């Protein structure tokens, strides 16, 4: 594939998928609190989805999938910290034939065991109030020092996730067990003296049903990998240098407002051959969370369940490409998007063909030359957003639908470029998404007309600002992350004091 196509056509995908996350008025932290209803239930709020060929040495035959949940975790957020919801379904879906429907679903269910540690005080046994009991340093899986043990199971469902749910099969560890432990969050350096070593014990080699090669799994708290200048962005893009034309140091001129936040990661490494379908190399992915439609609050729990859930499952969170629900979907339809399926994305088409984000940028910075592209409908964005880009990551047969798409035959880059395809790196966003891809800067530049300057989907005269290198000033690249699975840095401790 010619480099000019790979570099710039992909950028269109970017725009459509994230439609300029940086400059949005409502939000820009990927999917952190992106819709009105999901703000009421942060435990099932998906924040980011990543999908890339594994970059760890010797692992290029695998795809790493990361679905992050529970946004904006303060490291000191005790005493209960950030357990997952045992009454919810967390799922990662794979479409490997382009029809906009799930062909493989990895389903995660969680369980929280209260061990009810008690102390004898004045001759009476009394339950302690904390998730740890102080008996010893936490340094092993299922440590006796934990008062709450959090575990999970993983099921594989082939076909429709609801209709075929009865045929689901459990993922097992190397010893055949089907229950996995999740490490407790990083409470602090006194409770957990070496958190990375402790957490790494929860990286499991797994046998995946229908897959002859073993994969790997890790679920646990990590430093939030997303980087964005939230405060100034929310404040009507109050960025001192929103383009490098104004300041050559603009890309690093602002702060990352997530620098002190953690997140909960659901990470899987799966052999490519277990994800693709025949000769089709492109796979699509999205993550969802669902809860029961009915909830009955127990007015007197008395040590039992505080509520009773029942009824059919209802999807309340959906995430494929980053920033879509924040800056593409209109406020009135954000909850509807979270409840929808990719195969029904035609209902949101106007948000792509006639995007409001570039118009908002022009309102704020038009006097400085930030004019929105004038080609309508934005068919270039429809191609990138709903079908994948021809010659890059578009399946041979595709139904228009929004999801993160990866061409699994694209080689792993020896040196990653944070700007992905528009930076000349075909293995980067929007051909999948790596942790070090600066999706904010990429989408910002493409949304404002970079492709028009190259006569791709529009013409240079339709994008007066197409050559400007827009940025939010919060910098990220591959050096921010580890070289081995699960790649994301260990979470920030609640108490850094030794």
Rounded CA gap, 246 and 56, in Å? 38
Q: Which residue has the higher pLDDT, 465 or 212?
A: 212
- Residue 189: count of CB within 10 angstroms of its CB: 15
The residue-averaged pLDDT of 242-249 equals 79
Q: Sign of dihedral through CA atoms 456, 462, 466, 471?
A: negative
Tell me 294's DSSP state. E
Domain annotation covers residue 367: yes
Percentage of the chain surpassing pLDDT 70? 93
- Using only C-alpha atoms, the chain has a radius of gyration, in whole angstroms, of 23
Inter-CA distances, 133 with 67, 87, 137, Å? 31, 26, 10
Mean of pLDDT values over 282-298: 97
Lowest mean pLDDT segment, chosen from 193-207, 319-333, 480-494: 319-333
Q: Is residue 381 part of a domain?
A: yes
304, part of any domain:
no
Q: Which of 214, 213, 152, 159 is nearest to 182 (CA)?
A: 152
Q: Which residue range is the domain that position 328 belongs to?
A: 3-299+310-480
What integer pLDDT is reported at residue 234 of this predicted model? 67
Residue 213: closest CA among 137, 257, 262, 274: 274
Q: Which tokens is 327 given?
A: 């800056």
Q: Is residue 494 part of a domain?
A: no
- Of 209, 219, 282, 208, nearest in space to 53 by CA: 282
Residue 136 inside a domain? The answer is: yes
Q: Which of 39-53, 229-243, 266-280, 323-337 has the lowest mean pLDDT?
A: 229-243
When the pLDDT of each residue in the chain is averaged and rounded to a whole number, the result is 89
Residue of 464 and 477 predicted with greater confidence: 477
Per cent of the chain over pLDDT 90 is: 68
Tell me what pLDDT residue 273 has: 97
Chain centroid offset of residue 167 CA: 27
Secondary structure of residue 442 in the 3-state scheme: helix
Cα distance from N-terminal residue to C-terminal residue, the chain: 53
Q: Are 374 and 366 in contact (CB under 8 A)?
A: no
For residues 214 and 207, what is the distance between their CA atoms, to the nearest angstrom?
5
pLDDT of amino acid 7: 34
Number of domains in the chain: 1
The overall longest dimension of the chain from CA atoms, in Å, is 83
Residue 343 lies in a domain: yes
Residue with tokens 């792509």: 352
Q: What is the pLDDT of residue 106?
A: 98
| 322: in domain | yes
For the cut 60, the answer to whether the pLDDT of residue 8 exceeds it is no
Residue 331 inside a domain? The answer is yes
Q: Which of 21-35, 186-200, 238-252 bottoms out in mean pLDDT, i.e. has the lowest?
A: 21-35
pLDDT per residue over 424-469, tens digit each? 899 999 899 999 999 989 888 888 877 777 776 678 888 888 888 9
Q: Give the model confidence (pLDDT) of 167-192 as tens digits.
A: 999 999 999 999 999 999 999 999 99
């Amino acid at each position: 594939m010619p480099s000019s196509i790979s570099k710039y056509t992909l950028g269109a995908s970017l725009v459509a998928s994230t439609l300029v996350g940086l400059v949005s008025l409502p939000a820009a932290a990927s999917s952190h609190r992106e819709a009105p209803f999901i703000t009421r239930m942060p435990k099932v709020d998906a924040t980011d989805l990543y999908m890339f060929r594994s970059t760890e040495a010797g692992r290029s035959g695998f795809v790493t999938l990361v679905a992050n949940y529970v946004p904006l975790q303060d490291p000191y957020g005790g005493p209960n910290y950030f357990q997952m919801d045992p009454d919810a379904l967390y799922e990662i879906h794979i479409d490997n034939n382009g029809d906009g429907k799930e062909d493989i679903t990895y389903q995660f269910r969680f369980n929280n065991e209260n061990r009810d540690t008690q102390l004898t005080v004045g001759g009476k046994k009394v339950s302690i109030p904390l998730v740890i009991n102080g008996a010893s340093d936490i340094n092993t899986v299922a440590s006796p020092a934990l008062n709450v043990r959090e575990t999970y199971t993983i099921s594989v469902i082939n076909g429709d996730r609801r209709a075929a749910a009865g045929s689901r099969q459990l993922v097992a560890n190397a010893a055949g067990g089907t229950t996995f432990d999740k490490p407790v969050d990083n409470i602090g350096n006194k409770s957990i003296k070496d958190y990375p070593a402790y957490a790494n014990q929860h990286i499991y080699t797994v046998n995946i049903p229908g897959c002859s090669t073993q994969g790997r799994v890790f679920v646990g708290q990590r430093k939030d990998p997303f980087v964005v200048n939230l405060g100034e962005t929310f404040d009507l893009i109050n960025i001192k240098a929103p383009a490098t034309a104004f300041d050559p140091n603009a890309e690093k001129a602002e702060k990352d407002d997530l620098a002190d936040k953690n997140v909960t990661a659901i990470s899987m490494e799966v052999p490519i051959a277990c994800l693709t379908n025949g000769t089709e190399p492109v796979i699509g992915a999205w993550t969802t969370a669902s809860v029961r439609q009915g909830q009955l609050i127990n007015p007197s729990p008395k040590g039992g369940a505080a509520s009773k859930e029942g009824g059919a499952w209802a999807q309340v969170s959906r995430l494929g490409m980053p920033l879509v629900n924040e800056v593409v979907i209109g406020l009135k339809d954000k909850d509807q998007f979270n409840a929808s399926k990719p195969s029904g994305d035609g209902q949101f088409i106007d948000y792509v063909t006639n995007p409001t984000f570039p118009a908002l940028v022009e309102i704020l910075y038009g006097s400085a030359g930030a004019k929105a592209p004038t080609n309508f409908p934005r068919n270039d964005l429809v191609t990138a957003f709903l079908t994948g880009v021809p010659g890059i990551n578009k399946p041979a047969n595709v139904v228009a639908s929004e999801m993160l798409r990866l061409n699994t035959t694209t080689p792993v880059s020896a040196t990653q470029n944070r700007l992905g395809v528009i930076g000349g790196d075909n293995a980067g966003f929007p051909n999948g998404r790596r942790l070090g891809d600066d999706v904010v800067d990429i989408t910002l530049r493409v949304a404002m007309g970079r492709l028009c300057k190259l006569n791709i989907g529009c013409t240079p005269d339709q994008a007066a600002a197409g050559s400007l290198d827009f940025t939010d000033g919060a910098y990220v690249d591959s050096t921010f992350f580890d070289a081995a699975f699960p790649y994301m840095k260990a979470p920030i401790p609640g108490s850094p004091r030794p």
